[in-house]
Structures are given as C-alpha cells and as structure tokens.
Amino acid sequence: MTIHYRIDVEDVHAHLFRVTLRVPRPASSQRLSLPVWIPGSYLVREFARHLSDLRAEQGSQPVPLRQLDKATWVAECAGRGELSVSALVYAFDTSVRCAFLDASRGFFNGTGLCLRVEGREAEPHRLQIGTLPRGWQVATAMPAVKADAAGRGVYEAADYDELVDHPFELGAFWRGRFGAHGVPHEFVVAGALPDFDGERLLADARRICEAQIAFWHGARKPKVAFDRYVFLLNTSEDGHGGLEHRASTALLSARRNLPQLGRAETSDGYADLLGLISHEYFHTWNVKRLRPAEFARYDYTQENYTELLWFFEGFTSYYDDLFLRRCGLIDTPRYLRLLSRTLTGVAGTPGREVQSVAEASFDAWVKYYRTDENTPNATISYYAKGSLVALALDLSLRRDGSSLDEVMRTLWSSSGGGPISEADIATALQRCGGRSYAKELAEWVHGRAELPLKGLLYSAGIEWQAQAPSPGSAARAARGRKCADRREGHACAARRCGGSGGHRRRR
C-alpha cells in the first residue's frame, strides 16, 4: 500500500498551502503526527503551530479527529475505507528549515507539511504537486513517478524518512545542470539578478563536487551513494544558511554574493557562497550517511541527543574551505585568512573554558539556536571549535605519517557508510595514525584546555601572530556556516613560514 499526499497552493497572498493526505485501509484509531524538528537543525521548532483547518473524512462522511498533544491526532475511523485528511499550512519562513509561499516563490520541507501516519512509516509515500500559479516550475531530488517538463506531477519516496528528506522549490527560477563523475547534478537559483553568471556557478560547483566524490570514492569510476543531486539556492537581500539532505541541499545566500557576468574576481561574498556549497555537499556523506549512532532512526517527536556534532558539523566545517583551496577556487593567503578568522573567533569566546565541544553538541537543542547576551560566556560553537579539533588532529596525523583524509575514508569503508560512535572514530584514528589518540580526544573534545595549534601549525610551516581583536569580530567568527554569518574581520594572522618538522603535503 502507498500513502498519498497532495500539495496545492491555496493562497499566495495569505501564504497558505493546502495539504491533503490519503491513507488506504487506516487503523480504527489512526494516529497522525507532525514532526517537531527537522534533521540537521537541532531545535524543536513546533511545526504544528502552522496547521489550521484540520479535517478528516472517509468517503463523504466526516471522521472525528481527537488531539492528543501539540502535534498528534487520532482519527476515529469507521471501517477500512480510505481516510482523507486535509489542512492548511501557513508558510512564511524564508529559512531553509521550514516552508515559504508568496506570489513569486514557494518552498517546503516535508517535516512542516506532511503528517506522519504512525505505524505505516515504512510503506511507500507518494507526493503530488497540485495547483500552482502559471509559469511556476518544480525542483526536487525526490524521484518522479510522472512529471512534466516543468516538474509538476507525482513523486515517490521509499518511506516517510525519505519523503521528508527531499525539499521542494517552486517558482519561476533559474536552473542549470552539470555532471560530476557521471552523476547528474542540477542547480536551481531563485531571486537572482539579471547579471548573475550561472555558467560560472555551475563550473565552480562542479569542481567542488568532483573533488568531494573523488575524496570519498576515488577518482576512477567512483560508485557514488546517490543517482542524482540537486542544489536549491534561494537568494535574498540578506541571509546565509544551508541544510543538508540525502540527495540535495537547501541554500540561502545574499544575492550580491552570486558571481556576476564580466567580473572574474572571486569576491569575499562569492567565496562564502562556495564554502556553503562545499559544506552542505560534504554533509551528503558526513551526517546523512555516516551519522551518529543515536540518529540510526530518527524520533520526530522530541530531541535526539548526541555528543558528536563536533565531528559531523565541526569536521565538515574544516573541510568546506579546505576543498575550495584544493580545487583552486581560493588561493593559500585567502584560505589562511579564513582559518585565522576561525582561530580568532574561538580564542575570543570565553565559553571555550566553560563548555567542551562534546557538551556543546549535546546542548545544541537548548543553547546553539537560542543565543542571548550570555552565550559567548557560557558556550562554544561545535562548528568552529570542532573544525579546529579537526585541524589539530589532521596536523598530528600528518606528523605520524597519515592524514585526516585517511581517517574519514576508513570510517566510511568500515561502517559501510552508516551510523558510527565515538569509539569508531577512536579506532579509525588509531588504525590510520598507528597509535592511540585517546589522550587527544579526552583533552580536545571532552576537555576545555586550549588546543595546541600554535605548535602544530608551526610544524606545518605556518607562523602564528597575535593581533588585537576588533569589536565584535570574535563573536562573528565563532558562528557556524548555517547561521547568518557574513564572516567579517579577523583578529589574528596565520602565514606561511619556513617551519620545522616532517609534515606531509595535503593531498
């Protein structure tokens, strides 16, 4: 049997979608619930607050709906006839985590629109795009059962987890395509100005994708974990963020950061956008497939705790700019400036002496997305300090004749691209480095002491110079890529020097 959803644009001016769910052969007391969070963004967001006009029927007969809690209902069905449930969903959140609708554009994640039919999550789920304004297109990575050239039609996911892991972009957007190691990729851009250089964006994104596929699978006929990939980029006057999915990513960037026709230089804003693309694409492996053991099966009704966000977000933050350097999209001086900004941010955050990155990971649900005036004093970013833990481990591994690259690939092969624990990370480090890294993990991940980066960088040919911080620069630099972070300013400088020690060149 198959669960069916139909999404209609009800009223663009009131920002309302109409969602209709059809359940064949429902239970006599069929439970329905809406997720309270979206994987990849660790905050209870209470999506059910946007539902209204919730109605159910079998045939032409109304079915009583009894609400059990903030996001769960029971439909008291008469017999096994198909249950139909409809609701209006208010959609006016421009972030990548929720849903949005106005006269020019629509966007949604299934976690905010699609009620979960409890007990039936493992069955196939189909989603039909219904009424749309004239001229609108549809973009998603969800496989189509039947769709026209504009993408309007019916899509199918293997189960509920897959259904809500494919965001949809709706509207009159720009789209372009490229291949990376034989895998089709599509790029959708909403809100771009007429001078937007789409061909340059495609060429640069392709370099990132090819490099990361080769990183994980090798350069010769790699067997990639997905058949197709879609970038969904919304541009606005201001904003910055991204959210990873199994075969796509939703991105938000200021439109001034897009490359412009006739301008060959790489602006700081465009470098930020490329770093965001690199970050979210790397997540296709590191958190969507390699993932915390606690996320082997999501619980959509409550917080899902893990101490490993320092690895899945922090290490991804380490590799995002590093891949830009490896691809030749930024040069070494710019890479060192980006690195020094992160060093400055962490060094200028008093909370690094209060909270470890493991604790920051666990507390993400109540602290990371709920900043206040005391946040810098009491917390540390698992993005920023996690990326420095990755740097420290990479430099240490290279002194031992290995690299963090080898550790990541070892984790991928040993887990089969599945859930892992901190013990698995420790085992991979020991296997690749030829010794135990338990002391480093205890001090750098679970402790609050300063990372020994000055000496490690010097051994790799990088001289550390301290400078007086500018007001607010540390707080800006310490934020993660998924926040509205313009990455302005830095207060310490890293530069190449003669160095000492037997470091190996990054591959």
Give the pLDDT of residue 487: 31
CATH topology of domain 3-172: Immunoglobulin-like (2.60.40)
User: What is the CATH superfamily name and number for domain 285-299+306-507?
Assistant: Neutral Protease Domain 2 (1.10.390.10)
Task: Name the stretches of the chain with pLDDT < 50.
Answer: 479-507
Q: Is 166 exposed, middle or buried (0-12, 13-18, 19+ CB in 10 A)?
A: buried
Print burial letters for 290-311: b (CB count within 10 Å at least 16), e (below 16). bbbeebeebebbeebebbbbbb
453 closest CA partner among 389, 504, 360, 358: 389
Give the pLDDT of residue 432: 98
Domain segments of the chain as ranges? 3-172, 285-299+306-507
Q: How far apart are CA 73 and CA 458, in angstroms?
A: 60
41 closest CA partner among 242, 253, 336, 263: 242
pTM of the entire predicted model = 0.93
H or E segment to which residue 138 belongs = strand 137-139
Q: How far is CA 144 from the centre of its chain?
A: 23
Q: How far apart are CA 5 and CA 419, in angstroms?
A: 30
Taking each helix axis from N to C terminus, what angle separates 332-347 and 315-326, rounded to the nearest 10 degrees?
160
Give the pLDDT of residue 149: 86
Structure tokens at 226: 């997905």
123 closest CA partner among 26, 238, 260, 18: 26
Give the pLDDT of residue 471: 60
Q: How many CB atoms lie within 10 A of CB 96?
A: 27
Give the pLDDT of residue 473: 54
